[in-house]
Amino acid sequence: KNEVEQSPQNLTAQEGEFITINCSYSVGISALHWLQQHPGGGIVSLFMLSSGKKKHGRLIATINIQEKHSSLHITASHPRDSAVYICAVRSVWGSSSGTYKYIFGTGTRLKVLA
Amino acid sequence: EPEVTQTPSHQVTQMGQEVILRCVPISNHLYFYWYRQILGQKVEFLVSFYNNEISEKSEIFDDQFSVERPDGSNFTLKIRSTKLEDSAMYFCASSEAGLGTKTENTIYFGEGSWLTVV
């Protein structure tokens, strides 16, 4: 069983729809990232959060530490939002030098149709 | 917007050859990472690096792999004798992460270097 599970794996939406992508994890974490991977492969960090909720433009990310669950919401979706969205969790303990391990989910492939 | 840059963007190499992938992290960052993503699979952690030494490495990062920061700006990943299963996208990343759970230390990824071993 993967330590980080995402759902759905694939999602097709019509432009303008409200989209929710879910991430559940089974390990202790110090933070959770939502990443966007473009069709060309490049990865961009969207959010890093350890509690509550963050908003950036049309994107909203929430996390519930007790339930070990996070959601990424996209409001008024647009074809340019089409990408793979990846949830990655950061380990609780860093190394003595301050680096952390990250565990990645398998990603949710989103396609928004015009 | 500061960015992590990687070269080459794509390299094809013969099995058994040595490959060096190069990364220029964001200039004031101190922590560096390599990840890989085999086609169709999830991103996997390879190694983290700080203060000119490896901090952590995964079981994937065996003796065939090495990392180096040769000149204070580049951060390289070397694969000594490539195997077919090394074919993947390799991502470099950097962060300012320090000790403790400083949640605002985000991680910045490069665009990736696609390695094909034939």
| Interface A:B, Cβ pairs < 8 A | 84
What are the E-state strand segments in chain B? Answer: 5-7, 10-13, 19-24, 31-37, 43-50, 53-57, 65-68, 75-79, 88-95, 107-109, 113-117
Residue A42 pLDDT grade (very low, low, confident, very high; cuts 50, 70, 90)? confident
SS3 B44: strand
Q: How far apart are CA A23 and CA B86, in angstroms?
A: 28
Residue from A100, A104, A106 whose CB has the most chain B CBs within 10 Å, to mutate: A100
Distance from CA of B110 to the nearest CA of A (A): 7
Partner residue opposite B50 with nearest CB, options A45, A99, A102? A99
B106 touches A45 (CB < 8 A) = yes
Q: What is the 3-state secondary structure (H, E, C) of chain A?
A: CCCEEEECCEEEEECCCCEEEEEEECCCEEEEEEEEECCCCCEEEEEEECCEEEEECCEEEEEECCCCEEEEEECCCCHHHCEEEEEEEEECCCCCCCCCCEEECCCEEEEEEC
Residue B73 pLDDT grade (very low, low, confident, very high; cuts 50, 70, 90)? confident
Q: What average pLDDT score do residues B5-9 get?
A: 95
pLDDT at B100: 44
Q: What average pLDDT score do residues B69-93 get?
A: 94
